[in-house]
Amino acid sequence: MRCGNSIMALVADRGFRRNLGTGKSLSFVRPRNLFHYTLSAQNGRPHSMFSLFRSQPFTDHLESAKQKLRKLVATHLRTLALKRRDGITIDAYGTVDGSKWIKETQYFVDKVWSPLLTIEEKKAVLNAGLSSVGQELIEIPVRDECARMHAEGEHDMEIRVVHPPDMTGTGRQGGKASGANAISLRGGACTRGLIIRPEPLEKILFGEKTWEMRSDHTKIRGKIALIRKGSKTIYGTAEIIDSKGPLSASELLGSVHFHGITPARLATPEVQDYKYAWVLANVKRLASPIPYHHRGGVIFVTLDEYAVQALAVQSGEA
């Protein structure tokens, strides 16, 4: 059972190891089972959980459990952020491995949060869905703290690139990617971002245009990050599948539904050089915008390792 595109969703599949006071050990209780039944603390027999959704006590217990988790995450936020960075790696083929971070979050849930919960609070969390609670109160705050620490230069939050064994005996076994080597190490991961002005970017993200008009061709193809100009932040992803042009005035007028530039504006000097269409497909808006470390470039930029990893997580590639 996955919740959105987050690594945190995988924690739910590992279960919520609990004894709900029935004298029975509930090892690896899965949300799909609890969606229909929970255990009665009185007699150990299953009963329908839908009455819990209709009752105010259920809501109160869930909010109480969430509040405890909020306080714990706030207290240990920096530690969790560093654990998240160290618990996610990317190999030479561009594959992101978040298994260590998943284990860390499971440990945090089992050993730090769970002992503070009452039986009723544990039931409420399980019935509400551990995956969604973890996504909301652990994964998102910790991910945002990683981004803040990275953007403010407070700590090096770039994920570790794990190299395959060096058959010549001269290479490293692990470390941070740098320079030209960084791109080659990330294989199929999204490593490049396109800077776009706010207005056309919003039209692209809303599906109102699929051509990004430029003054020249591009040879770049494949997945890119969509960056709002001046924000140093990624708001979506897309694929460049073609580059058309130069387009004549009549062709531009006949393709307004593709590029989104009004006929009146096409006649202005402001866009007279925009005769090349970069064709976009598979456009997706990110649920949470991702900051990146800007290292030059006015059209395309090479993304830092943290941004590459964060994109992989939100895209469901982690």
Which residue, 309, 281, 314, is CA-closest to 88? 309
Regarding whether 133 and 32 lie in a shared domain, the answer is yes
Distance (Å, whole) CA 265 – CA 213: 13
Highest mean pLDDT among 129-138, 200-209, 298-307: 200-209
Q: Is the pLDDT of residue 41 over 90?
A: no
φ, ψ dihedrals at 242, nearest 5°: -165, 165
Q: What is the pLDDT of residue 280?
A: 95
3-state DSSP: the chain helix, strand, coil percent, rounded to 5?
40, 20, 35
pLDDT band at 203 (very low <50, low <70, confident <90, very high): very high
For residue 214, with 0-12 CB atoms within 10 Å meaning exposed, 13-18 middle and 19 or more buried, which class applies? middle
> Which domain CATH number covers 240?
2.30.130.30
**Is there a contact between 46 and 20 (Cβ–Cβ < 8 Å)?**
no
Count helices and strands in the chain by DSSP H and E runs:
15, 12
Q: Do both 139 and 204 map to the same domain?
A: no
**Is residue 187 assigned to a domain?**
no
Query: Are 147 and 205 in the same domain?
Result: no
Quote the pTM value: 0.46
Domain identity same for 146 and 231? no
User: What CA–CA distances, in Å, run from 315 to 164, 236, 303?
Assistant: 25, 10, 16
- In this structure, the answer to whether residues 16 and 146 fall within a common structural domain is yes
pLDDT at 189: 76
The mean pLDDT value for 143-163 works out to 73
Contacts of 134 (CB under 8 A, 6+ apart): 8, 9, 11, 12, 105, 109
Q: Looking at the structure, tell me whether residues 200 and 115 fall in a common domain.
A: no
Interatomic CA distance for residues 88 and 202, integer angstroms: 31
Tokens of 60: 């109160």
Lowest mean pLDDT among 39-53, 68-82, 139-153, 184-198: 39-53
- 211 and 127 within one domain: no
Banded pLDDT at 48 (limits 50, 70, 90): very low
Model confidence at 113: pLDDT above 90: yes
The token pair at 179 is 């320079």
What is the structure's pLDDT at 67?
95
Q: Is 296 helix (H, G, I), strand (E, B) or coil?
A: coil
Per-residue pLDDT, 117: 93
Q: Which residues pair with 217 in a beta bridge?
A: none
The confidence score (pLDDT) of residue 166 equals: 41
Give how far Cα 41 sits from Cα of 61, 122, 306, Å: 15, 12, 45
Looking at residues 206-218, what average pLDDT do you find? 93
Percent of the chain predicted with pLDDT > 70:
69
Is residue 317 a part of any domain in this protein? no
Domain closes at, from 99, 118, 151: 151
Q: Please report whether residue 314 resides in a domain.
A: no
Whether 20 shows a pLDDT value over 60: the answer reads no
Are 12 and 134 spatial neighbours (Cβ–Cβ below 8 Å)? Answer: yes
Q: What is the pLDDT of residue 79?
A: 92
DSSP 93-146: TS-EE-HHHHHHHHHIIIIIIGGG--HHHHHHHHHH-HHHHHIIIIIHHHHHHH
In the predicted model, is pLDDT for residue 171 greater than 70? no
Instruction: Say if residue 196 is in the same domain as residue 147.
Output: no
Q: How far apart are CA 197 and CA 208, in angstroms?
A: 15
153 burial via Cβ count (<10 Å: 0-12, 13-18, 19+): exposed
Side by side, the strands of the sheet bearing 174-175 are 96-97, 89-91, 160-162, 174-175
Number of domains in the chain: 2
Q: If pLDDT is split at 50, 70 and 90, which confidence band does 10 have? A: very low
| Residue 22 lies in domain | 9-151
For residue 235, give Cα distances in angstroms to 59, 67, 227, 292.
34, 30, 6, 11
Least confident piece of the model among 138-142, 162-166, 167-171, 180-184: 180-184
Whether residue 141 sits in one domain with residue 198: no
What's the pLDDT tens digit per position in 49-77?
444 444 677 889 999 999 999 999 999 99
Domain presence at residue 38: yes
For residue 96, which amino acid is it? V
For residue 162, being part of any structural domain is answered with no
Mean pLDDT on 86-92: 75
pLDDT at position 135 over 90: no
What pLDDT, in 10s, does the model give residues 221-279? 999 999 999 888 899 999 999 999 999 999 999 999 999 999 999 989 988 899 999 99
Mean pLDDT of the chain: 74
- Examine residue 239 and state whether it is found in any structural domain, yes or no: yes
Are 135 and 221 in the same domain?
no
